[in-house]
Amino acid sequence: MGEEEVKLVGAWFSPYVHRVAWVLKLKGIRYEYVKEKINNKSSLLLDCNPVYKKIPVLVHHGKPIVESLFIIEFNDETWKHNPILSTHPYDRAMARFWALYIDQMLLESSKKVLYVEGEELKKEIKQVSEAMEVLEGMLKGKKFFGGEKIGFLDITFGWIAIWLGAIEEVAGFQLYDPRKYPLLHNWKNRFRELDEIKDSLFPKEKLVRFFQKYRHASTKATKCDNIAII
Ligand SMILES: N[C@@H](CCC(=O)N[C@@H](CS)C(=O)NCC(=O)O)C(=O)O
């Protein structure tokens, strides 16, 4: 494989950026990591993602690709070794369906838990536990969502390894009871222990401090108000 020009524009706290970094690592692709400041966005980010102005952005030979799930697919099609998605059309369609489900139901609701209250909070908590239930069921008889090996859904859901625990700590209550979801719990431990994953993880406390700062800033109606940090 020749030397390719690959850049990843991201920030340490973003679960979406980590997804892309995990795939690049699993495929052994060398890339330049460009750190982005989300409250003072660079012209590189604004040029590359003028529609959403969000990270991650992957720049491949000068061409930007945005949205983490699309970037993962792009990577899988560009570098075919260590495949992330199945080659079977049905399995691919199902993996895409569940990946969107994870983002829309679980990740979105888990994020909202940090800043909503009352009835809205109850609704988000209920949504998280319903999604957990579904995912627990999907792991029956499997090591990973992808089967024996880590795949698209493992990567998509991998943020639970640190982010969910930090959200719980900042919110002050438990969203995920390991006794209720033993298969998910074992999956999470297996995922965290993979060589390609464990090197990229950081202490949960770092994220807790970051969320606390963000929460404080957004209640003071600063610039952070309109920024989805996670
Ligand atoms: N659906 C997007 C979500 C990306 C996202 O929300 N990124 C956050 C950081 S974790 C961001 O860039 N926020 C900046 C903003 O909202 O202005 C993806 O999968 O890539």
Is there an atom of ligand 1 within 6 Å of 134 CB?
A: no
Which portions of the chain are predicted below pLDDT 70?
Answer: 1-3, 218-230
Asked if the structure places residue 72 within a domain, the reply is yes
Is there an atom of ligand 1 within 6 Å of 54 CB?
A: yes
Ligand 1 atom closest to 36 (CA): 12
- Residue 59 sits at the vertex; the CA angle it makes with 57 and 60, to the nearest 5 degrees, is 140
Q: Could you tell me the end-to-end alpha-carbon distance of the chain, in angstroms, rounded to an integer?
A: 34
Taking each helix axis from N to C end, the angle separating 68-78 and 89-101, rounded to the nearest 10 degrees, works out to 150
Q: What does the pLDDT read at residue 3? A: 64
**Are 125 and 181 part of one and the same domain?**
yes
Q: What does the pLDDT read at residue 176? A: 86
Q: What does the pLDDT read at residue 226? A: 45
- Give kind and range of the element (H or E) at residue 45: helix 43-48
- The residue among 58, 78, 98 that closes a domain is 78
Q: What does the pLDDT read at residue 222? A: 40
Give the span between the Cα atoms of 184 and 20, in whole angstroms.
22
Asked if the structure places residue 223 within a domain, the reply is no
Helix (H, G, I), strand (E, B) or coil at 88: coil
Q: Which domain holds residue 35?
A: 6-78
Is there an atom of ligand 1 within 6 Å of 68 CB?
A: yes
Measured in Å, residue 117 CA sits from the centre of ligand 1 at 23
